[in-house]
């Protein structure tokens, strides 16, 4: 069974102005010390400014791997400290972008979560990073990180173990979803849901629908 380590638990440091309809963003996450309670909507003390597009049960937590952040550090020529991408969990030793849709983890011995979908970069993320064409570059890089649904509440802290409890049989990763599904992958996800292995939601459902529509039209797969 695959194991990883929770390097940092991050929540909002301060709300910052943003050129969006909401006008502010909570993307500025920073590591916090000690145990942090986790409930069905995420970390205690964390917030999402744009609740229409962020947060909710299917996006209660956002995880990003240190290994993926290291690749960005090389490409951008700068450090990518925990929380810079707006993630709640910075991990090590776990292929987060390679996690399967519906995969289940136990964090710190008590909290259990389900991988729901990849992060699709938004304009706020681009402004936060202040990099040209950031959303397009992030999507094309294929290292989206994973949103998590909280199945069992509890407390987590940096240094805790992350254990993969279950991997469904469909073989489709969150990186596959962000890159654009083909017909075989879309059908595998639907079959897995029909078999009761997983429950599809959010941008995964949209990716499946796009793949089916493209197949019907005879068009090639494209990213969402």
Per-residue model confidence (pLDDT) at position 112 = 98
| Span 44-78, pLDDT tens digits | 999 887 777 788 999 999 999 999 999 999 999 99
Model confidence, pTM: 0.94
Rounded Cα distance, 115 and 117, in Å: 6
Residue 41, SS3?
coil
Whether the predicted pLDDT of 221 surpasses 90: no
Domain span at 58: 3-171
For residue 53, the model assigns a pLDDT of 76
Lowest mean per-residue pLDDT among 17-21, 86-90, 116-120, 181-185: 17-21
Give domain status of residue 113, yes or no: yes
Residue 210 lies inside a defined structural domain of this protein: no
Q: Could you give the number of structural domains in the chain?
A: 1
Q: Quick check: is 12 in a domain?
A: yes
Residue 74 class from Cβ within 10 Å (0-12 exposed, 13-18 middle, 19+ buried)? exposed
User: 7-33: per-residue pLDDT in tens?
Assistant: 999 999 999 888 888 889 999 999 999
Strands (E), the chain: 3-12, 16-17, 24-25, 29-31, 36-39, 42-43, 61-65, 89-92, 104-107, 111-118, 146-152, 154-156, 161-166
Tell me what pLDDT residue 40 has: 97
Does 205 fall in a domain? no
Cβ(81)–Cβ(110) below 8 Å: no
Inside any domain, residue 218 = no
Question: Is 125 inside a domain boundary?
Answer: yes
Q: With respect to residue 212, please indicate whether it lies within any of the assigned structural domains.
A: no
Is residue 223 domain-resident? no
Helix pair 203-217, 183-194: axis angle to 10 deg: 130
Contact 138, 184 (CB under 8 A): no
Closest CA to 171 of 116, 118, 100: 100
Cα R_g (the chain), whole angstroms: 17
Q: Is the pLDDT of residue 1 over 80?
A: no
- What phi and psi values does residue 199 have, to the nearest 5 degrees? -125, 120
Residue 204 and residue 101 in contact, taking contact as beta carbons nearer than 8 Å: yes
CATH number at residue 153: 2.40.33.20
* pLDDT score of 50: 75
pLDDT tens digits, 99-154: 999 999 999 989 999 999 999 999 999 999 999 999 999 999 999 999 999 999 99
When pLDDT is cut at 50, 70 and 90, the band that residue 197 belongs to is very high
């Amino acid at each position: 069974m695959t194991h990883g380590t929770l390097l940092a638990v991050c929540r909002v440091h301060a709300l910052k102005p943003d050129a969006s309809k909401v006008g502010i963003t909570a993307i500025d996450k920073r590591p916090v010390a000690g145990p942090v309670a986790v409930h069905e909507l995420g970390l205690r003390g964390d917030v999402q400014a744009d609740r229409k597009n962020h947060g909710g049960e299917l996006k209660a937590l956002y995880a990003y791997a240190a290994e993926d952040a290291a690749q960005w550090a090389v490409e951008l020529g700068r450090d990518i400290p925990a929380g810079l991408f707006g993630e709640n969990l910075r991990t090590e030793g776990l292929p987060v972008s390679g996690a399967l849709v519906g995969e289940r983890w136990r964090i710190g011995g008590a909290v259990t979560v389900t991988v729901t979908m990849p992060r699709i970069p938004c304009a706020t993320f681009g402004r936060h990073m202040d990099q040209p064409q950031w959303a397009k570059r992030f999507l094309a890089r294929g290292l989206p990180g994973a949103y998590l649904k909280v199945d069992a509440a509890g407390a987590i802290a940096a240094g805790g173990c992350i254990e993969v409890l279950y991997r469904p049989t469909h073989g489709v990763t969150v990186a596959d979803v962000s890159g654009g599904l083909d017909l075989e992958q879309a059908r595998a996800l639907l079959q897995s849901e029909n078999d009761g292995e997983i429950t599809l939601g959010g941008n995964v459902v949209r990716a499946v629908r796009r793949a089916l529509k493209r197949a019907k039209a005879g068009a090639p797969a494209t990213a969402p």
